[in-house]
Amino acid sequence: MAVHTYDVVVIGTGPAGESAAINAAKHGMRVAIVEKQTQVGGNCTHWGTIPSKALRHQVKQIMAFNTNPMFRDIGEPRWFSFPKVMEHSRVTIDKQVEMRSRFYARNRIDLFNGVARFKDEHTVLVRDRQEGMEELVAKKIVIATGSRPYRPADINFRHPRLYCSDTILSLSHTPRTLIIFGAGVIGCEYASIFSGLGVKVDLINNRDSLLSFLDDEISDALSYHLRKHGVLIRHNEEYERVEGDESGVIVYLKSGKKLRADAFLWANGRTGNTDSLGLESIGLEANGRGQLHVDEHYRTAIPHIYAAGDVIGWPSLASAAYDQGLNSSNELLEKDYRYVTEVPTGIYTIPEISSFGPNERELTEAKVPYEVAQAFFKDTARAQITGDTIGMLKILFHQDTLEILGIHCFGDQASEIVHIGQAIMQQKGEANSLNYFVNTTFNYPTMAEAYRVAAQNGLSRVF
């Protein structure tokens, strides 16, 4: 068995692992990274963020074609099968893998493909697919193994009609009807995708509203548009059992209802990938969801072993994972770092949603005197040109100081639009002001111009 010595060993090539490894390498460290899959990119590239968002984009294009009057002059509406749409989405995955592979080669990071397991606090064993073994010894180690869908033991995911958010990507047909259990971010995104393909979707939510952490107005708008596209939302429901047969799936709910569909998608929670790491060998313990606890330095209970990304839990976003990995690496390099606490929300439903900062409900509960500035996309020239008139931008600001407190956006390009408000919100002192948007010239026509329209709307409410 070959033994290799490094300054830093990173386990996982998702966003957290990639940023941690590259940052350490750029600062002169000898770095190795371990990936259990045959290609780099982690779950983000192969099972989560990239494939689902690429899939969403393809479906959105189909929907735009089928609803645009101009295209009716050249032909009738066209519908595509799920496998065909997924095939086009894989082009993006291949490009991501190629690009990220170059990153490791360019930074002279040694890549080991195989399953990592701790031998001791400074040693990681890597077993490849041919049962070969490599031993990596390091001064410092970063665990960035990500997460996978939580799969309850009482649901038979071996049945060919029962899927989780990973296995749904290998769906080989287009079901006429689909039951999605779990109306969180992943469940709502897939409800949008499948309804956009003409599939009738039952979305089962175990709470009383969709995505309750969102601004109430935007949560209501999401519910409306999902229903508009044929999604039947069932709130306050829990499953009793799920049974699959040769022709479909029956879901028995604790309320006494039973639902039948061609296929079933479980989209309720995720589990950290820690069970194969041999944590017992080093005295580390994951929580009930497989997640590791870290301090504000991203250190586990063993000071030279760090963790970042989905494996530490909140917020379980690729964007945050990249920053967490970077900052865990900065800390182990004894450089300036920050603990990531402020993260924009990006939800890629159709239309998409993004927000940064507290919502109206939270500000009201905190007794903060705020006012609302809003702009509706239907009133902006760019949206009228593109036809993406659904949605709005809402700015919450302090009544007295005009300090921007929160940005909430629903509609096309929401995840891009929110960053303008985020940038101003994070300025110091008087630079964080609603006046910025009134005193700044925006390109016309643009979606960003909604900030000027909203600011003027909000200032008219101040007295």
CATH code for the domain in which residue 241 is found = 3.50.50.60
Residue 201 in any domain: the answer is yes
14 known member of a binding site: no
- Same-domain status, 356 and 451: yes
Q: Report whether 41 belongs to an annotated binding site.
A: yes
Of 286, 301, 333, which residue is a domain's last? 333
My answer on whether 59 and 170 are in the same domain is no
Establish whether 145 is an annotated binding residue: yes
Q: Helix, strand, coil: what percent of the chain each, to 5?
A: 35, 25, 40
Q: Is residue 269 marked as binding?
A: yes
**Does the annotation place 186 within a ligand binding site?**
yes
Task: Give the phi and the psi of residue 23 in degrees, each rounded to 5.
Answer: -60, -45
Please check whether residue 345 lies inside any domain of the structure.
no
Is 49 annotated in a binding site? The answer is no
Whether 383 is in a domain gets the answer: yes
Asked if 280 and 143 sit in the same domain, the reply is yes
Number of domains comprising the chain: 3
The reply to whether 7 and 141 lie within a common domain is yes
Give yes or no: residues 40 and 135 share one domain: yes
Any residues with CB less than 8 A from the CB of 392 and at least 6 apart, and which?
221, 374, 375, 376, 377, 409, 410, 411
Q: Is 341 annotated as a binding residue?
A: no
Q: 182 a known binding residue?
A: yes
Is 391 annotated in some ligand binding site? no
Q: What pLDDT, on a 0 to 100 scale, did the predictor assign at position 208?
A: 94
Q: Amino acid identity of 357?
A: G
Range of the domain at 204: 162-268
15: closest CA among 333, 290, 319?
319
- Say if residue 324 carries a ligand binding annotation: no
114 marked as part of a ligand binding site: no
433 located within any domain:
yes
43 annotated ligand binder: yes
For residue 164, say whether it is annotated as part of any ligand binding site.
Answer: no
Q: Indicate whether 65 belongs to any domain.
A: yes
* Same domain, yes or no: 92 and 33: yes
- Claim to verify: residue 374 and residue 283 sit in the same structural domain: no
Q: Kindly state whether residues 234 and 289 are assigned to the same domain.
A: no
384 and 406 belong to one structural domain: yes
183 labelled binding-site residue: yes
53 is in an annotated binding site: yes
* Whether residues 33 and 121 fall in one domain: yes
Q: What is the pTM of this model?
A: 0.95
- Residue 94 is assigned to a structural domain of this protein: yes
Burial 275-311, CB ≥16 within 10 A → b, else e: eebbbeebebebeeebbbebeeebbbeeeebbbbbbb
Same domain, 382 and 277: no
Tell whether 35 is in a known binding site: yes
Residues 103 and 125 in one domain: yes
Report the alpha-carbon angle 11-94-34, nearest 5. 10
Q: Is 40 marked within a binding site? A: yes
User: What 3-state DSSP class applies to 264?
Assistant: strand
In the 3-class helix/strand/coil scheme, how is 2-71 assigned residue by residue?
EEEEEEEEEECCCHHHHHHHHHHHHCCCCEEEEECCCCCCHHHHHCCHHHHHHHHHHHHHHHHHHHCHHH
CATH number at residue 372: 3.30.390.30
202 located within any domain: yes
Q: What is the pLDDT along the chain (463 residues), one digit of tens a residue?
A: 789 999 999 999 999 999 999 999 999 999 999 999 999 999 999 999 999 999 999 999 999 888 888 877 777 777 789 999 999 889 999 999 999 999 999 999 999 999 999 999 999 999 998 889 999 999 999 999 999 999 999 999 999 999 999 999 999 999 999 999 999 999 999 999 999 999 999 999 999 999 999 999 999 999 999 999 999 999 999 999 999 999 999 999 999 999 999 999 999 999 999 999 999 999 999 999 999 999 999 999 999 999 999 999 999 999 999 999 999 999 999 999 899 999 999 999 999 999 999 999 999 999 999 999 999 999 999 999 999 999 999 999 999 999 999 999 999 999 999 999 999 999 999 999 999 999 999 999 999 999 999 999 999 999 9
